Every structure is written in C-alpha cells, then in structure tokens.
Structure 1
Amino acid sequence: MSGDYKDIPGTYVFDAKQSRKGYHLNMFCMSLRQAVNREAFKAHEGLYLDRFPMTPEQKDAVLNRDWNGMLRLGGNIYYTSKLAATDGINFQQLAAIMTGMEQEAYREMMLKGGRSIEGNRSKGEWKTGEMTHGG
C-alpha cells in the first residue's frame, strides 16, 4: 500500500498500485457476473481459478474466502462482492463479516451513523499501539 495511506487504520485504499496488484483477482471476480462462469467456478473452484494468472496468495484468499485478505492483495470491494454474491452473501452480510461483527450489530451501527471517528482518523492518534482516546 502506498505510504500516503499507511496511517489509516483498518482499511486498504484501492489506488492505482493496488489496482495493478489485483488486476487478475478482480477480473476473476468480474467474470462471476455471468451465470455460466458462476456454475463453472462452483463446480471446481481451483480449476476455474487457474484461468486467471493470480498469485498463490490471491488464489488462497479466494479459496478461503479471506475477504480482507483479498483487499490487501489488490482486490476491490465492488469486485470481490461478486464472489460473495456467488456464495449467496449480500453486501451488508459481507461488510459485517469483514468487520468481525454480527449482521444485526453492523446494521444497527450503520443506522446510527457508522463507526465513531474517534481512533479511526489515523494511527497517529494511537499511543504505543492503543488509541489515546475512546473510539
């Protein structure tokens, strides 16, 4: 990830560098827009993934449904959500999974305006690995 973004806690910014890094991962995900491709993927995931020159780490992230790992490896949330949809997971469910929350707790948090900004502006707010104030 670019140096400009390393201070943002808990996120992977999808910039040009991440786009290049995740190109084949994202193209795999976009292929799942077509029913024939979803069926081929479901029939044999590993074989279908071999159609795309992804890194071994990217393939493992897909096979293990490591949603945050896919983002770290260059995936774009809007593309990786195609894989989630293939698995029957809607976007709200996916976001809850990625934040480590139960779906209803995630929904309630979002209805109340989302996460508190406290402690989430930058890692510079933290002292020795912990936030300097509530968040």
Structure 2
Amino acid sequence: MPSSTPEVPGTYVFDVAQSNRGYALNRLCGSLKDAANRERFSADEAAYCDAYGLSPEQREAILQRDWTRMLDLGGSIFYVFKLAVLDKKSMQDLGGIFTGMTTEEFVKALNAGGRSFG
C-alpha cells in the first residue's frame, strides 16, 4: 500500500512508523523535562540510556550527540530538543547542524526568509 505521506527530499516526516521506531529515544529525551532526570542523566549518561532500552544505534547517537542520526532513528525534534537544551544548544544551532551550516549562516538564511537553504 502506498504511503499517504508525501516524500519531500531533505525533510523528516515524523509519522507513526517513525514514532514507533523512536519511542525509547523520545521517551528518554522527554524525561529530561524534569530537573531530577537531568541530574541523573548528567551524572551517568550511559546508564541512563541503558535504563530506557535504547537500540545500540540510538544509544550511540545520544552519547555522541549525533543530532541528525537521532532523527534518522525516529527521534522527534520536539523531544530531541530537550537534550539539546541540556547541552545549551538553541534550535538555531540544531538548524545549522541539520542543514550543514553554521549557526550564524542558518540564522542569516532564516532572516532572509529561508530562501538560501540548500
């Protein structure tokens, strides 16, 4: 059966399949909204990952802060961003990473209406 979700090159479509695939990763990232969980994560990131039952690939992406890989593995930007905030990264920082730009280049592209995105 063909997908009802249109394919747009260079974008991430967060559909039911991706949600299922990224459930553990998103659950971990979502847990970081609580200060006590942020402290536990910061104290021993690997053990915290193990407690959430991540796949080996998800665990590595979290520990390496491979932001793009997290999305590839089912991460939702809304959850992944909670980890980014812990690392003092802005949405513009992530936007730069996702588009292969520096943060400054990404902000400049946004201010230009996004027309210079690859």
Report if TM-score (shorter chain) is over 0.5: yes
Q: What letter is aligned with 1:95?
A: G
**Which aligned pairs between 1:106-117 and structure 2 lie closer than 5 A?**
106-115=106-115
Identity of aligned residues (%): 48
Structure 1 CA distance for aligned equivalents of residues 26 and 81 of structure 2: 10
Which has more helix, going by share of residues? 2
Q: Over alpha carbons, which structure has the higher Rg?
A: 1
Amino acid at match of 1:86: L
Residue 94 of structure 1 corresponds to which residue in structure 2?
94
Letter in 2 for 1:27: R
Aligned partner of 2:19 in structure 1 is 19
Deviation of the 1:59 alpha carbon: 0.5
Give 1:13 shift. Answer: 0.7
Aligned residues: 117
Aligned-partner SS, 1:75 = coil
The answer to whether residue 83 in structure 2 is matched with residue 80 in structure 1 is no
1:84 is displaced (CA, Å) by 0.3
**Match of 1:9, SS?**
coil
C-alpha distance in 2 between matches for 1:5 and 1:61: 26
Q: C-alpha deviations, 1:36-68, integer Å up to 9, x for none? A: 111111111001111111110010110111111
- SS of 2:85's partner is helix
CA distance in 2, matches of 1:10, 1:39: 35
Say whether 1:33 aligns with 2:36.
no
Of stretches 6-15 and 94-103 in structure 1, the one that deviates more from structure 2 is: 6-15
Q: Is the alpha carbon distance of 1:56 and 1:115 closer, same or farther for their aligned partners in structure 2, counting shifts above 3 Å? A: farther
Aligned 8 A contact 2:109 2:116 in 1: no
- Separation in 1, partners of 2:115, 2:47: 40
Deviation at 1:70, TM superposition (A): 0.6
Aligned to 2:104: 104
Gaps spanning 5+ residues in structure 1: where?
A: 118-134
Task: Provide the aligned C-alpha RMSD in A.
Answer: 2.0
Match of 1:66 in 2: 66
Q: Structure 1 stretches (4+) deviating beyond 2 angstroms?
A: 2-8
TM-score under structure 2 normalisation? 0.89
Shift in Å, 1:116:
5.2
Query: How far did residue 90 of structure 1 move?
Result: 1.3
**CA drift at 1:5:** 5.9
Deviations for 1:68-127, whole angstroms, at most 9, x for unmatched residues? 11111000001000000011111111111222211111011011111458xxxxxxxxxx
